[in-house]
Structure 1
Amino acid sequence: MSAYRTVVVGTDGSDTSFAAVERAASLAADSDATLVIACAYLPDKVDTAAQDQLGEDAYQVVGSAPADDTVSRARDRAVAAGATKVELRSVEGKPAATLAKVVSDTDADLLVVGNVGLNTLAGRILGSVPLDVARHARTDVLIVHTT
């Protein structure tokens, strides 16, 4: 199997997603691949009840952190992990659909995501990004154990 040429990794700014960024950066560095760091965002609409109930999973129902800041911080971690060719994408939309779009737009051959939400009640009810991308991806998917 040939080395990967373009690796897409999703981040939401959480520590667990940054762990996935670091793993993707290492893979990209080993393959001399371009690393595309993607962050999906939703327009702000504060729902404090949902935030209180869902905790770390609240990003699924309320607005997200500023995407440009998130991908900039992720780039710093990726470079520290060895990535030399890094592109940043902030895209409005839901995380799984946004990642699929970025994979398609960049003709990526690997998608990397963290495993947050795979084994949670909120993930089962609301859906989880790793499960959704693994089901619908048209490329290799690496789900990094980040929890």
Structure 2
Amino acid sequence: MAYRTVLVGTDGSASSFRAVSAAASLAAATGATLVLACAYLPMRESSRAAAADALGDLAYKVSGSTPADDALRAAREHAVAAGASQIVLAAEEGDAVDALVKLAGTHRADLLVVGNRGLNSLAGRLLGSVPSSVTHRATCDVLVVHTTSGK
């Protein structure tokens, strides 16, 4: 089966960029479109006001989807370096798992790629991790990329 659309989640962390690179290599090899996805949560008004006071003219950097957009732009650089050419950026408000599953459906992804961060942690075992939850909820294939040592 050839993948036509590969969606990968990123939060701007180094480990998520390893998943982006793996997904981009796969997309390049199969000629698939790569969808870079990032979830974000709206900032509470009190937090936004405090940030605006502290950051002044740079306050826009922490409001709305701007942090997610910044993570997506950085992820695009990793994707291009790994060979992807057809790249779509998608920021979605909400919990990471909900956003990834929703975006996978919206973009008709054949494959959803996530990193393994959280799978081997105590919190991940007790509360559930993004990779674990995505594998249970996604309606497409899921690839969990080894992006952390698991220690």
TM-score band by shorter chain is 0.7 to 0.9
- Runs of 4+ aligned structure 1 residues displaced above 3 Å come to none
Per-residue CA distance 1:15-38 (angstroms, 9 max, x = gap): 000000000000000000000000
Cα distance in 1 between the residues matched to 2:66 and 2:133: 21
TM-score, normalised with respect to structure 2: 0.82
Identity of aligned residues (%): 60
Which of these two proteins has the greater Rg computed from alpha carbons?
2
One-letter amino acid of the structure 2 residue matched with residue 73 of structure 1: A
How far the C-alpha of 1:119 sits from its partner, in A, is 1.0
Cα distance in 1 between the residues matched to 2:127 and 2:95: 12
Q: For 2:84, what is the secondary structure of its paired residue?
A: coil
Matches within 5 A, 1:26-37: 26-37=25-36
Q: For 1:66, what is the secondary structure of its paired residue?
A: helix
TM-score, normalised with respect to structure 1: 0.84
Quote the RMSD (CA, aligned, Å): 1.7
Structure 2: state its 5+ residue gaps.
Answer: 48-64
Could you tell me whether the CA contact under 8 Å between 1:40 and 1:92 is conserved in 2?
yes
Matches within 5 A, 1:26-105: 26-44=25-43, 66-105=67-106
Structure 1: state its 5+ residue gaps.
Answer: 47-63
Q: Is structure 2 residue 24 aligned with structure 1 residue 3?
A: no
Q: Is structure 2 residue 17 aligned with structure 1 residue 18?
A: yes
Q: Is structure 2 residue 146 aligned with structure 1 residue 145?
A: yes
